[in-house]
Amino acid sequence: MIEVMPRPTNIYHSHHATYVLKYHIVWITKYRRRKFIEEKRSKCKEVLRSLCTEYEWIPETMEVSSDHVHLYLVTDPADRPCDVVAILKSKSASILKQEFPELQAGKGRVWARGYFISSVNDRTTSKIINQYINKHNLEEERLARQLRLL
């Protein structure tokens, strides 16, 4: 018997393709330093959102932690995943270094060289990734509050 998979709720269309192409992307700061606190964190989110808009990518969930970024993103099939990450990291670093020159400490790099990327296409996995990213933010806030008490 053939198992029927549930249809995705968000199907995207381009000129010659119909697709559901989502990626969970994670990258860290250079030397895993805690560079993004308060206003830098919100500015980083703003920059990443504007880059996604510029390139017509859809960020479903995003979290900028003090030392890494989680991004759950929908892209067009014409955009290679490695190019998406390269654009997000290089352009965001350039913009952020202009506004916050102190981010250049540590050989002038904001982000480390590597990244993690996973393709995601079914609703169960999407739900789990969204919950993980949102829960991760709550855990980071809880730890920050505890550190302020010391």
Q: Report whether pLDDT(19) > 80.
A: yes
User: What is the structure's pLDDT at 12?
Assistant: 85
3-state SS, one letter per residue, for the chain: CCCCCCCCCCCEECCCCEECCEEEEEEEEHHHCCCCCCHHHHHHHHHHHHHHHHCCCEEEEEEECCCEEEEEEECCCCCCHHHHHHHHHHHHHHHHHHHCHHHHCCCCCCECCCCEEEEECCHHHHHHHHHHHHHHHHHHHHHHHHHHHC
Q: Report whether pLDDT(2) > 60.
A: no
- What is the rounded distance in angstroms from the CA atom of residue 73 to the CA atom of residue 24? 6
User: What is the structure's pLDDT at 42?
Assistant: 94
The domain locations on the chain are 13-149
Token digits for 95? 């913009």
Q: How confident is the model at residue 124 (pLDDT cuts 50, 70, 90)?
A: low
- The residue-averaged pLDDT of 55-62 equals 93
User: What is the structure's pLDDT at 69?
Assistant: 96
As assigned by CATH, the class of the 13-149 domain is alpha beta
User: What is the structure's pLDDT at 58?
Assistant: 93
User: What is the structure's pLDDT at 45?
Assistant: 96
Q: Report whether pLDDT(126) > 90.
A: no
What phi and psi values does residue 97 have, to the nearest 5 degrees?
-65, -30
% of the chain residues with pLDDT over 90? 55
Q: Does the reported pTM lie above 0.85?
A: no
| Tens-digit pLDDT profile for residues 63-73 | 999 999 999 99
| Tens-digit pLDDT profile for residues 77-95 | 999 999 999 999 999 999 9
